[in-house]
Amino acid sequence: MPLSTQSQADEEQYVFVASLDNARNLSNILKAITFKDHAIFSATPNGLKVTVEDSKCLQANAFIQADIFQEFTIREDLVGFQVNLTVLLDCLNIFGGSTVPGVSTALRMCYKGYGYPLTLFLEEGGVVTVIYIWELWKRSL
């Protein structure tokens, strides 16, 4: 299903939705803070914060402002989840990160809430891939 044709009913079931025309931008930001496998994502109306931590003595944060996304919808004050960052990066680059001018991978990230996976819709050249990444645990934020 192309990213632009998801139904309104589908959108209303998510507590968090974020879309980018070029997934490479997010991928590059996440690569910069990848020194451990797992990351905590915290979405607020201001944007998306990604935290990677090692033994509570080393921490890296990346904050992507809501305005950077083409779509950024959050239905709660704070939405938090943890995913395997290595898996997420592999998924974001599933199409190989084309360097052809004018060709990019569009991304829509959706999350229904605790107990549900982070859902990625990736589209490049009319080909859509849907990926489900299950969170490991919920951390009170």
- The domain segmentation of the chain, as residue ranges, is 16-133
pTM of the model: 0.84
Residues in the chain: 141
Q: What is the mean pLDDT of residues 24-34?
A: 95
Across the chain, mean pLDDT equals: 88
| Predicted local distance difference test score (pLDDT) of residue 98 | 62
Q: For residue 140, what pLDDT band results from cuts at 50, 70 and 90?
A: very low
Pick the CATH number of 16-133 from 3.70.10.10, 3.80.30.20, 3.40.50.970, 3.40.309.10: 3.70.10.10
What is the rounded distance in angstroms from the CA atom of residue 42 to the CA atom of residue 30? 14
Q: Give the 3-state secondary structure of residue 46.
A: coil
Percent of the chain with pLDDT over 70: 85
Residue among 8, 51, 37 at smallest CA distance from 139: 51
H/E segment holding residue 128: strand 127-133
> What is the spatial order of strands in the sheet that 71-74 belongs to?
71-74, 16-20, 106-111, 118-124, 127-133
The helix-helix angle for 23-32 and 85-92 (nearest 10°) equals 150
Q: Tens of pLDDT along 55-111?
A: 889 999 999 999 999 999 999 999 999 999 999 999 999 987 666 677 899 999 999
Which token pair is 80?
Answer: 């938090």
| Predicted local distance difference test score (pLDDT) of residue 10 | 63
| Predicted local distance difference test score (pLDDT) of residue 103 | 81
| Predicted local distance difference test score (pLDDT) of residue 47 | 98
Go through 39-67 and write b for each residue having 16 or more CB atoms within 10 A of its CB, e for each that does not. Answer: bbbbbbeebbbbbbeeeeeeeeebebebe
